[in-house]
């Protein structure tokens, strides 16, 4: 079945470091991918919609200069947390739907997530 690979699974780094997270669709092309953030015991909050070949669409309250998204190919989207601070520590998850764009009959497939810890 369709698989989404997310890397790295865990990052621990110092405050001020920039961290890049990759999300790959392994056996399908995804023109749209979603990036979510999850706080402990909370639901997934959508951060942005990553669109292949164009700018990402950010949700209200998400700083686009802080969370840089690049979707340069149909199988790869990256999220870069720039100059990370302790309050950016969280669980970040990407998702993608197989087929072209987001179709009503296609399920969303999720990566395994990235646990980001900023010291």
Partner 1 sequence: KQEVTQIPAALSVPEGENLVLNCSFTDSAIYNLQWFRQDPGKGLTSLLLIQSSQREQTSGRLNASLDKSSGRSTLYIAASQPGDSATYLCAVTGGSYIPTFGRGTSLIVHP
Q: Distance of CA 40 to CAs 36, 44, 45, 68, 82, Å?
A: 13, 10, 12, 23, 22
Q: Is the CB of 59 or the CB of 63 nearer to partner 1?
A: 59
Q: Is the CB of 17 or the CB of 32 nearer to partner 1?
A: 32
Instruction: Write out the residues near partner 1 by the rule CB under 8 A.
Output: 6, 32, 34, 41-44, 46, 49, 91, 93, 95, 101-102, 104-105, 107-113, 115
* Calpha distance 77→30 (Å, rounded): 9
Q: Is the CB of 19 or the CB of 37 nearer to partner 1?
A: 37
Tokens of 76: 């790869």
What's the sign of the alpha-carbon dihedral 38, 92, 72, 83? positive
Residue 2 CB, nearest distance to partner 1 (Å)?
9
Q: Is the CB of 42 or the CB of 83 nearer to partner 1?
A: 42
10 Å Cβ neighbour count for 28? 18
């Amino acid at each position: 079945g369709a698989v989404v690979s997310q890397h790295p699974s865990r990052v621990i780094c110092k405050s001020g470091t920039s961290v890049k997270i990759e999300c790959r669709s392994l056996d399908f092309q995804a023109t749209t991918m979603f990036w979510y953030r999850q706080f402990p015991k909370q639901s997934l909050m959508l951060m942005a919609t990553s669109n292949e070949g164009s700018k990402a669409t950010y949700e209200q309250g998400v700083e686009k200069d802080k969370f840089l998204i690049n979707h340069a190919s149909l199988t790869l989207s990256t999220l870069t947390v720039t100059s990370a601070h302790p309050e950016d520590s969280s669980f970040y998850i990407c998702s993608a739907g197989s087929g072209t764009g987001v179709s009503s009959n296609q399920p969303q497939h999720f990566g395994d997530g990235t646990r980001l810890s900023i010291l």
